[in-house]
Amino acid sequence: MNAESGLVAAVRNARLQDFVGVAERIRGDIIRTPLLPCTSGTKTIRLKAECLQPLGSFKIRAAASVLQTMDPGDLERGVATASAGNFAQGLGLAAKRRGIALTVHAPDSAAKVKLEAIRGLGARIVMHPFADWWSIMTTRETGADDGVFIHPVCEAGVILGNGSIGLELAEDWPEMDTVVIPFGGGGLSSGIALALRALSRKVRIVACEVETSTALTAAFAANAPVRVERHPSFVDGIGSNGVLEEMWPLVKELIDDVVVVTLSEVKAAVRVLALRHHLIAEGAGAAALAAALSPRCKGTNVAAVITGGNIDAAVLCPILSGADV
């Protein structure tokens, strides 16, 4: 058995009490985000406003969860991760609150503003050439004695923490029959799906992708992860060159359908969220609403997970005015 199948086995076997336990233990780190009725569209759509979380994304759930599910003795040596984005920030905040030393390994291509934010939370940053950094991501070897390595995606604690969204959705909306989730690495979809399954709730899990990167659609077509093109766009929070091999067994089992949305549909959803619901969502966050609004998404009572709100005003404002459409 290799590390990947260990992950899959660990989360597949997670029981309801495991999800509930994690949700209890991260309660002080997160917001119980509201599920807002959406007045657009012909379906009944509700918005899970994860953009209201501390640091503006659902990632704080996973970060806090990982620290809470680790052996306290292991945490004394500190923890390390390889990320330069929202996960490292979430881990920085969760570690700071617990007085745990954090080392973040970042590629030298990382955005300075994100590194500053991570440093501002008290983490130590080690920069690497991109190839060396990618090697850390795949081997989990940082080459230093900087504590337990926490993978930003392939980690049971990450998936269990994301499951807390599933528990909240189930509690807040007993009639929900479909949930739409932006597809990045698959950890969010898996966590929500497994939590709902642990609750014995029959809910269709719909992943959404943007037309500029359709890794999951391609994987379902080929019945295996395949390499796809990823075209950069303002939707920078999701999309990849391919479904992660170690996540594919979970993803294949748990996701019922994929809806691909256009950039134009995502922009329209950003506008609806801002102008009708007064929420600022980043492209990836708005993609779930775009998919829910689409006739390509089936379902009657559809929850859309608005995963995050980290979008620059310079990107947001032309979308709000419709000037860039």
Q: Which residue's CB is nearer to a second copy, number 97 or number 231?
A: 97
Cβ neighbours of residue 230 closer than 8 Å, sequence gap 6 or more: 212, 213, 215, 239, 240, 241
Q: Which is nearer to a second copy, 219 or 280 (CB)?
A: 280
CB of 94 to a second copy, least distance (A): 14
Q: Tell me the C-alpha distance between 37 and 317, whole Å.
A: 24
CB of 153 to a second copy, least distance (A): 23
> What is the total residue count of the chain?
325
- Nearest approach in angstroms of CB 146 to a second copy is 27
Minimum gap (Å) between residue 284 Cβ and a second copy = 13
Q: CA-CA distance, 50 to 44, in Å (whole number)?
A: 19
Strand order in the sheet with 102-107: 124-128, 102-107, 79-82, 148-150
Chain CA centroid to CA 63, Å: 11
Give the list of residues 6+ apart from residue 276 with CB closer than 8 angstroms, or none: 38, 39, 40
**C-alpha–C-alpha distance, residues 13 and 37, integer Å:** 34
Residue nearer to a second copy on the CB measure, 144 or 275:
275
Least distance CB 55 / a second copy (angstroms) = 9
Q: Could you tell me whether strands 178-182 and 102-107 are parallel, antiparallel, or unpaired per DSSP bridges?
A: unpaired
Residues that bind a second copy (CB under 8 A): 31-34, 36-37, 39, 49, 51-52, 54, 56, 274-281, 309, 313-314, 316-317, 320-321
Characterize the bridge pairing of strands 257-261 and 35-38.
Answer: unpaired
Amino acid at the residue 96: K
Nearer to a second copy, 36 or 193 (CB): 36
Q: What is the smallest separation between the CB atom of 285 and a second copy, expressed in angstroms?
A: 9
Q: Which is nearer to a second copy, 105 or 277 (CB)?
A: 277
Q: Which is nearer to a second copy, 9 or 275 (CB)?
A: 275
